[in-house]
Structure 1
Amino acid sequence: MSLVLHVDAAAWRAHQDSVVAGDPGIVPVAKGNGYGFGLPRLAGEVRRLGLDRLAVGTAEEVALVRGSADEHGVRTGGAEHPGFPGDVVVLTPWRPGDAVAEAALADPGVITTLSRVEDVAAVAKAHPGARVILEALTSMRRYGMRPDEFEAAVAAAEGLEIVGWTIHLPMIGEHLGEATDLATTALSACTVPLWVSHLSPDDLDRLRQTFHVEVRHRVGTELWLGAHDALHYRASVQDVHDVTAAERVGYWQRRAGRRHHRLAIVSGGTANGVAMQAPTAAANGRQVVQTLANGVMEAGRMALSPYSAGGRKLFFAEPPHMQASLLWVPDSVDVGDELEVTMRATTATPDRTVVE
Structure 2
Amino acid sequence: MALTLYVETERWRAHHRSVLEAFPGLVPVAKGSTGYGFGNQRLAEEAARLGCDLLAVGNAYEAAQAKDWFSGDLIVLTPYRLGEDPVPLPPRVIRTVSSVDDVRGLVGARVVIECMTSMRRHGIAPDDLPKLRSAVDDVRLEGFAVHLPLDRPDGSSGVEEVAWWVDQIQAARLPLFTMFVSHLDAEGVAELHRRYPGVRFRSRIGTRLWLGDHKAMRCRGAVLDVVPVAKGDRYGYRQLKAPQDGHLLVVAGGTAHGVGLEAPKRMHGVTPRAKSMARAGLAVVNRTLSPFVWEGRQRWFAEPPHMQVSLLFLPGEVRPPQIGEELTAHLRHTTTHFDRVVDL
- TM-score after normalising by structure 1: 0.90
1:334 is displaced (CA, Å) by: 2.5
1:284 is displaced (CA, Å) by: 4.3
Cα contact 2:226–2:320 (8 A) shared by 1:
no
More deviation in 286-295 or 171-180? Answer: 286-295
Match of 2:138, SS state, is coil
Does residue 202 of structure 1 match 2:187?
yes
Aligned counterparts of 1:59 and 1:285: Cα–Cα separation in 2: 42
Q: What is the match of residue 253 of structure 2?
A: 268
Q: What is the match of residue 322 of structure 2?
A: 334
- Give the aligned residue type for 1:97: G
1:261 is displaced (CA, Å) by: 1.7
Distance change >3 Å, CA 201–CA 284, structure 1 → 2: farther
1:286 is displaced (CA, Å) by: 3.9
- Give the aligned residue type for 2:55: L
C-alpha root-mean-square deviation of aligned residues, in Å?
Answer: 1.4
Distance change >3 Å, CA 118–CA 147, structure 1 → 2: same
Which residue of the other structure, out of 269, 273, 292, is the alignment partner of 1:288? 273
Does residue 244 of structure 1 match 2:220?
no
1:197 is displaced (CA, Å) by: 0.6
Q: What does residue range 1-356 of structure 1 map to in structure 2 within 5 Å?
A: 1-32=1-32, 33-67=34-68, 83-101=69-87, 103-104=88-89, 107-124=90-107, 129-173=108-152, 174-189=157-172, 190=174, 191-211=176-196, 212-258=198-244, 260-329=245-314, 330-356=318-344
1:162-195 CA distance string (max 9 Å, x none): 1111000101123222221112112333223110
- Give the aligned residue type for 1:158: D
Aligned counterparts of 2:131 and 2:177: Cα–Cα separation in 1: 16
- Give the aligned residue type for 2:233: E
Aligned counterparts of 2:272 and 2:52: Cα–Cα separation in 1: 38
Cα contact 1:262–1:331 (8 A) shared by 2:
no
- Give the aligned residue type for 2:340: R
Aligned counterparts of 2:229 and 2:216: Cα–Cα separation in 1: 37
- Give the aligned residue type for 1:299: V
Aligned counterparts of 2:119 and 2:2: Cα–Cα separation in 1: 39
Aligned counterparts of 1:26 and 1:312: Cα–Cα separation in 2: 39
1:153 is displaced (CA, Å) by: 2.3
1:99 is displaced (CA, Å) by: 2.9
1:178-215 CA distance string (max 9 Å, x none): 22111211233322311001112221111111112100
1:25 is displaced (CA, Å) by: 2.2
Q: What is the aligned-residue identity percentage?
A: 41
Match of 1:345, SS state, is coil
More deviation in 312-321 or 333-342? Answer: 333-342
Cα contact 2:6–2:341 (8 A) shared by 1:
yes
Structure 2's unaligned 5+ residue stretches are none
Cα contact 1:7–1:232 (8 A) shared by 2:
yes
Cα contact 1:237–1:336 (8 A) shared by 2:
yes
- Tell me how many residue pairs correspond in the alignment: 333
1:290 is displaced (CA, Å) by: 2.8
- TM-score after normalising by structure 2: 0.93
Distance change >3 Å, CA 283–CA 29, structure 1 → 2: farther
Aligned counterparts of 1:94 and 1:202: Cα–Cα separation in 2: 31
Match of 1:157, SS state, is helix
Aligned counterparts of 1:336 and 1:253: Cα–Cα separation in 2: 26
